[in-house]
Amino acid sequence: MSILERFSLAGQVALVTGGGRGLGFEMASALAEAGAHVIVTGRTTATLEDAVRTIRAAGGTAEAAVFDIADRGGQRAVMAEIDKIHGRLDILINNVGARDRRPLAEFDDEAVLELLRTDLAAAITLSRDASVLMKRRNYGRLIAVTSISGHVVMPGDCVYPAAKQGLTGLMRAMAVEFGPHGITSNAIAPGWFATETNAAMAANEELMPFVRQRIPVQRWGRPDEIAGAALFLASAAASFVNGHVLTVDGGMTVTM
């Protein structure tokens, strides 16, 4: 197999949570372009339908699964449908992440638990369910989208970094537990990307001196620049990469 052939995902089935927009969409599109059939999830039907149409128009194959990632009933239903229709799941990208920036003292107990359910617990249970399908074929790729938050943090943002660091621990533990079954577990830690969510910040010229000072490439990341990292970790080219956090931040976390 040539090096380029190792990046092919032909015949594989991938599930990308939060795949309707932003970084999730870019990763889903990359997997589809490489030959995978991609299932994109989210809570908004119109957004997912637009994503599926765009992927198909580019020559890929995709379908939508509309549900709240923190809903265990929805998770079970999606996994059952994937098993029934496709009989396999080769790649899972846990991408969904909610954020609530405010001082920790302003969080009540339920607000903390709600964020942890979405950002951490959902990935644990979905990964567990996915591993069942992957073990049947002795092959799989579990990928968690974490964050540079936790390595570098800003005031008023405690729960999100805690959840993302929890995902890092989950990925490392799964690398050890599932490695003997041919399943690798890795993470992608994005830095500052100019997605729809961050559009206002990315357009704020007052922030640019800070960006130039803290990010060696002196700019925000383009959403499509996450695609290569996802494709690499999902492919046979990364067959011996297990338990790794691939940071994609333009050098922000290594800057003094």
Catalytic residue annotation: 160
Give the closest residue to 143 by CA, choosing from 231, 222, 223.
231
The pair of three-digit structure tokens given for residue 43, joined into one six-digit string: 């809570």
β-pairing, 13-16 with 91-94? parallel
DSSP, collapsed to helix, strand or coil, labels residue 69 as: coil
Could you tell me which of 93, 115, 71, 90 has the C-alpha nearest to residue 19? 93
In order of 38, 105, 147, the CA distances from 160 in angstroms are 27, 14, 9
Q: How far apart are CA 235 and CA 110, in angstroms?
A: 39
Q: Contact at 8 Å (CB) between 147 and 160?
A: yes
Backbone conformation region of residue 11, classed left if phi is above 0, alpha if psi is from -120 to 50, else beta: left
The answer to whether 50 touches 93, Cβ cutoff 8 Å, is no
